[in-house]
Structure 1
């Protein structure tokens, strides 16, 4: 069967307050894509799509300047900050109709863009999904490394399928993005959804680089919120845990009641047992209500049908949108996960 020939590639780059970083990362990405074009590995009308996620600095000004200097660059700007997941989905949704391949990568270039060529080659060999995976965490602090390991371990135990040490650096084929777009929840947990697509996949390992400019957009508070979003979006394990805990408490309470009844029949009394039990049960009830409340809140967001993002402006050209696809069937082979 045929493979992809000079596929149209779109790099989707979410940006939030990347004024210090864009002047450094844009030339690097441009050079890589031009080199791939010159060697006929990708089509000459491939693009770099910057998605400005409501930045408060001059990120959008830089994007428009890049567009004026080179039509390789294009961009869209949100009316406010909607979050990285929304920026990724928006970029893929906009690029999907006119792209054979889409690669998502952060603007800070800590994910090594030099493996983009290898990703394209893997796509030509028939893989619909190519994960960029860090080969080690030696540059992380002990705290960050430990919390990352705890995150992947916890998500695995809760039944959420993730690729360890993979963030948002990945390649998706046209049909993989088509399948991804069928997931319409208001807060999609993309890292957990993509492994569920089931298409042939593989991994490419790279060494993560230090950030050249700007600051990290993922402080501890946001990382915790991100982890909880993944749990409540893709796992019912917390609800089952509450049910099992309820059965356990009922069993323990029955045993304790029989024990106290035996003491009472023997003329003995105990102090504080009732108060302690009430505090314990009250705390467990509040925890249970909190977990259930998270799921109820998730249901509320889905039923409100609010827009996932609002585009304020963009820099597309008519020719860019109208160009035809060159996608052809993939090889059929075993998925590698």
Structure 2
């Protein structure tokens, strides 16, 4: 029996691209239904992440005119990762599988059909791995590849060149729902589920309209979340730096003593000031890294909700 699929698409200020995306996703889902790869009850779920433009009114209009489209509106902007999680957990109640894809549809929509084939073969998680990033700006492409390599060097279990384009079975969704953390980094969290997984090729396309909402600042914040949520290696690096500076200080002490005995000491204001600034910056950096971990503990122990749902527009099965 084919699965009941929900395509979850997070949206933040996507009024320019939503009509095109809705048409593309609807046509694709209709084709999958006609081929018998998913059930007629399959849906598209647009998640409004506190948009400031006309995104939610457009979603409501699409819901009223298109039987395939549901809408979920969050009470405020909670971020890309939490918006995806909200959509997946909402769809989990009535879906056999969920695919997450950004509303700009830069990911290869045709790869979803291959994901469904892998699901039929018994895989619970199917990752879309970027085959080509030439459609991405140079800066985004370079920083992303650097970050993936940095993750790997830190021992984080993540899929190289994979963002948030993936398929999860109901079993994987049920397991993911048991993770209560507030500092969400799904690219590192989902591989920890341990279910049978595979990958499909994802060729990135140009945006049809609008501009990317993933600014450099947001990418850096996501990178910090990804690193500090899944490894304590930065703290180990601080210990290593501390030992290195201890060794340097011992060498400097020997140099000072020898210079004093040999009467070679001269005024060294410049070297002294440079040393003070250098050591001071290392200390501040170390405190900042430790502060990141303490801040995450502070957020987690309060156990506040990750998001609040303002409105959920959902078609009934007998509406079709």
* TM-score between both structures, scaled by the size of structure 1: 0.89
Aligned residues: 316
Cα displacement (A) at 1:274 = 4.4
Q: Secondary structure at the match of 1:74?
A: strand
Q: Tell me how far apart the structure 2 counterparts of residues 277 and 206 of structure 1 sit (CA, whole Å).
A: 49
The C-alpha deviation readout for 1:171-197, integer Å capped at 9, x for no partner, is 011111112222211121001111222
Gap runs ≥5 in structure 1:
321-337
Q: Tell me how far apart the structure 2 counterparts of residues 29 and 261 of structure 1 sit (CA, whole Å).
A: 74
Counterpart residue number, 2:254: 258
Deviates more, 1:272-281 or 1:26-35: 272-281
Matched, 1:292 2:270: no
Match of 2:153 among 157, 160, 164: 157
Counterpart residue number, 1:331: none
Q: Secondary structure at the match of 2:27?
A: helix
Cα displacement (A) at 1:319 = 4.8
Match of 1:278 among 268, 276, 279: 276
8 Å CA contact 1:85–1:187 kept in 2: the answer is no
Counterpart residue number, 1:246: 242
Matched, 1:37 2:33: yes
Q: Tell me how far apart the structure 1 counterparts of residues 145 and 204 of structure 2 sit (CA, whole Å).
A: 16
The C-alpha deviation readout for 1:27-55, integer Å capped at 9, x for no partner, is 11111111211222111111111110001
Q: Tell me how far apart the structure 2 counterparts of residues 206 and 277 of structure 1 sit (CA, whole Å).
A: 49
Q: Tell me how far apart the structure 2 counterparts of residues 267 and 28 of structure 1 sit (CA, whole Å).
A: 80
Q: Tell me how far apart the structure 2 counterparts of residues 73 and 137 of structure 1 sit (CA, whole Å).
A: 29
Counterpart residue number, 1:178: 174
Q: Tell me how far apart the structure 2 counterparts of residues 130 and 69 of structure 1 sit (CA, whole Å).
A: 31
Counterpart residue number, 1:227: 223
Q: Mark the CA change 1:296 to 1:85 in structure 2 (over 3 Å): closer, same or farther.
A: same
* TM-score between both structures, scaled by the size of structure 2: 0.94
Gap runs ≥5 in structure 2:
none
Cα displacement (A) at 1:144 = 2.8
8 Å CA contact 1:48–1:73 kept in 2: the answer is yes
Match of 1:95 among 91, 94, 99: 91
Work out which structure has the larger RCO, using CA pairs closer than 8 Å and 6 or more positions apart in sequence. Answer: 1
Cα RMSD for the two superposed structures: 1.6
Counterpart residue number, 2:115: 119
Q: Tell me how far apart the structure 2 counterparts of residues 138 and 69 of structure 1 sit (CA, whole Å).
A: 36
Counterpart residue number, 1:59: 55
Q: Tell me how far apart the structure 2 counterparts of residues 205 and 227 of structure 1 sit (CA, whole Å).
A: 23
Q: Secondary structure at the match of 1:113?
A: coil
8 Å CA contact 2:134–2:204 kept in 1: the answer is no
Match of 1:311 among 306, 309, 312: 309
Counterpart residue number, 2:165: 169
8 Å CA contact 2:41–2:317 kept in 1: the answer is no
8 Å CA contact 1:156–1:162 kept in 2: the answer is yes
Q: Secondary structure at the match of 1:301?
A: helix
Q: Secondary structure at the match of 1:11?
A: strand
